Amino acid sequence: MIKSLTIAALILLLSIIAVPAQPAAQPQPGSLDSILDQMDRSAASFHSAQADLTSTQYQKVVDETDVQKGKAYFRRNGKSDLEMALDITSPDKKYVLLKDDKIRLYQPSADQVTEYNVAKNRSDVEGMFALGFGGRGHDLLKTFDVKLGGNDVVQGVRTARLELSPKTDKVKNMFSSITLWVDPARGISLQQRFDEPSGDYRLAQYDNIKLNQRISDDVFKLKTSGNTKIVTPQG
């Protein structure tokens, strides 16, 4: 089973790619099928994305909100391989990288990399990938019951609010619900919220987005020191 920290890192990575392109005309949000169809079409032409990321985590038990900021990167390497990276700059420096079936979390303050192998959970990775831009809309139906909840204005765009309820106990143990705010014109979500059974939630928002532009290979490499410690949790 993937460790909880791995899931948190993966959700951060996968949520980075639900980002808007250039401003466009704003048609009325249509039916659920039409929105999922548009997401399918957008996924077919997707190659890469990079954006400024603001991730807000609320913890109910202590009634505190933690805000992290940085940059997020994604690219499709070949036909299906996914490479994703986070460069968090505030409040603390850290890097998260998904590449070669591994998630690596680098904390410069401790000069330590925590490494998780997700090869056996690749189907979970691909399933969560469907939540973000670059994932097919109809793939959501494999893991979630999807309902069109209404229309909300997000970043000046009238979006369709998709409310996702997990179908399996495995996913329910992680998330009680997931909400996507989808631009119906482009088939991409402008905002995402992940609610946990504990009452905690994470809200992901994006800015300065660049789509389908070349991303340097250096982005997908950890800048460690010669003394960096590598830790591989068991189980």
pLDDT in tens, 126-146: 556 556 656 788 888 988 999
Binned at pLDDT 50, 70 and 90, residue 168 comes out as confident
Architecture of the domain defined by 4-231: Clam (2.50)
User: What residue spans define the domains of the chain?
Assistant: 4-231
Is 18's pLDDT higher than 60? no
What pTM value is reported for the model? 0.78
Question: What are φ and ψ of residue 16, in 5° steps?
Answer: -70, -20
b/e 187-204 (16+ beta carbons within 10 angstroms → b): bbbbbbbbbbeeeebbbb
Rounded CA-CA distance 8/155 in Å is 25
pLDDT surpasses 90 at 116: no
First to last CA, the chain: 7
Q: Regarding predicted confidence, which is higher, 126 or 120?
A: 120
The conformation of residue 194, written as its DSSP 8-state character, comes to E
